[in-house]
Amino acid sequence: MTQTGRQTGRAARPAIRRLALAAALGAGVATGQAPWDLWWIALPALGALTALIAAEVRGPRLVWLGWIGGAGYFAAGLFWIVEPFQVDAARDAWMAPFALVFMAFGMALFWALAGGVAALGRGPATRAAGFALGLVATDLLRGYVFTGFPWALVGHVWIGTPVMQAAAFVGPVGLSALATFAAALPMLGRRPAARAGLAALAALAIGAVWAGGTVRLAAPEPQRDSPIRVRLIQPNAAQALKWRGDMWRIFLDRQMAQTAAPAAAPLDLVVWPETAVPFLLEDAGGLFSQIAEASGGVPAAVGIQRVEGMRYFNSLAAADGSGEVHAVYDKWHLVPFGEYIPYGDVMAEFGISAFAAREGNGYSPGPGAQVLDLGRAGKVLPLICYEAVFPQDLRAAPERADWVLQVTNDAWFGNVAGPYQHFAQGRLRAVEQGLPLLRAANTGVTAVIDAKGRVLDSLPLNTEGVLDAEVPAALAPTPYARTGDLPAAFLIGIGLLALAATRRRVSD
């Protein structure tokens, strides 16, 4: 490379210390994610990153800062991505560092795109607004592009606070907008006094939404005409042991014993978690009759795999009180590289197969969202694991359910952050839809969540036990349940056009 080329490269890229600062600030933004939930650290960190970007003039440097800031964010927020590689460490552990690096820098491309949106601005104020808008736009894109991965959205910092109630109206992308524009607002002022005033305005805006959420939480709760009582089973089967020949019978017997345990009140449904048994539905034999006998004739919903020809499915089978299977739901939003491998036939030649698929190299997707009529337990919208990450998957149901049932196996995600982040998103789905969500998790967190996202009861991570609970009542369909992300997409489009128009006026 010539000296001129090296100088051009240095001009296009910020100094290393500025990139390091961007990465550190991105990691600071990640502290707002579960299990830390430090929104009061995450927002100032996001504000500082926005200021760092707004102060930059050259467009390529804005992209660099966004990319490296995003890499810090995703590396700190999604570090649990290495955990699946530890289940069979002798075979897979060597891939874990590469997975973390590729995931962090790959997901950070969305933040690089946000930096590109900031480059449309001609001054610090419009660059700050552009970066905030870009983050909101890319949070929306992350839910849909390449099958979607809307995990660790910026707006998730509000989960567990009264601000989360706003998701019933504006969805998760609206929560992201509140966070990013609150962080950017002080940058719109030219002088310190103006910036201080705008920071106070941002705090007032957050306070107003917080107060509105508090009022919503205090509103009277509807009551069901007749109670629905459900038992959620948490066997605590460690993933490394779950399928072992000397252990699977122990876990199966454990779930049978949990099913047979006395209940304080008559039950309407017993739920076993995702892939609760080590064999296919077609090979289950008298399993469901045994469950019915153990439960005293209570209907059951069991996570189990099944096969049709050469196609395997990750499923939920519902049986009546006599042990007769009457409904099956097949998971349709699969985890790339976890449950199926893109171009799987080619990848299999290199020994690469999906982590979670017990049979074959991967699962096939089911036909789509369903609502199951479970008799006394009501109409249930089933979700299997990863599907609870996607608001659009709940809205895709052909009719409104009485409640949402998620069966999951979060043993893949480790013990620090992954299971808690997955659990937190279930709380957000409940608020968005105005529906209670019950969660049966293999190793936890098993929980009962009401239609406002409150955790009414739960079992801790890495414990075995049962959770008997009444299903909370549903609320009326929320505005977000009716419209989804369309209003957010429309407003983002208007914002991008306005930013581009501002740039054009300045250029003229």
Which is catalytic among the residues 83, 274, 339, 432? 274
Is 308 a known active-site residue? no
Is 385 a known active-site residue? yes
Which is catalytic among the residues 83, 385, 387, 452? 385
Helix (H, G, I), strand (E, B) or coil at 235: coil
The DSSP call for residue 280 is: B
Is 274 a known active-site residue? yes
Amino acid at 146: F
Distance CA 114, CA 194 (A): 25
Three-state SS across 295-355?
HCCCCEEEEEEEEECCEEEEEEEEECCCCCEEEEEECCCCCECCCECCCHHHHHCCCCCCC
The DSSP call for residue 508 is: -
Residues 6+ apart with CB under 8 A from 174: 155, 166, 167, 488
Q: Classify residue 170 as exposed, middle or buried by CB count within 10 Å of its CB (0-12, 13-18, 19+).
A: buried
Peptide bond between residue 172 and the one before it cis (omega within 30 degrees of 0)? no
User: For the chain, how big is the Rg over CA atoms in Å?
Assistant: 24
Please answer whether residues 415 and 78 qualify as being in contact, where contact means their C-beta atoms are separated by less than 8 angstroms: no
Peptide bond between residue 398 and the one before it cis (omega within 30 degrees of 0)? no
Distance CA 410, CA 413 (A): 5
Helix (H, G, I), strand (E, B) or coil at 499: helix
Helix (H, G, I), strand (E, B) or coil at 274: coil
Tokens of 426: 């279930």
Opening angle at CA 88, ends 87 and 94, nearest 5 = 105
Q: Classify residue 205 as exposed, middle or buried by CB count within 10 Å of its CB (0-12, 13-18, 19+).
A: middle
For residue 233, the surrounding DSSP H or E stretch is strand 229-234
Distance CA 109, CA 146 (A): 13
Helix (H, G, I), strand (E, B) or coil at 88: coil
Distance CA 298, CA 114 (A): 52
How far is C-alpha 295 from the geometric centre of its chain's CA atoms? Answer: 33
For the residues of 459-480, what is the DSSP string, one character each? Answer: E-TT--EEEEEEPPPPPPPPHH
What is each CA distance from 440 to 131, 231, 299, 507, in whole angstroms?
Answer: 39, 9, 15, 57
Helix (H, G, I), strand (E, B) or coil at 143: coil
Please give the positions annotated as active site: 274, 331, 385
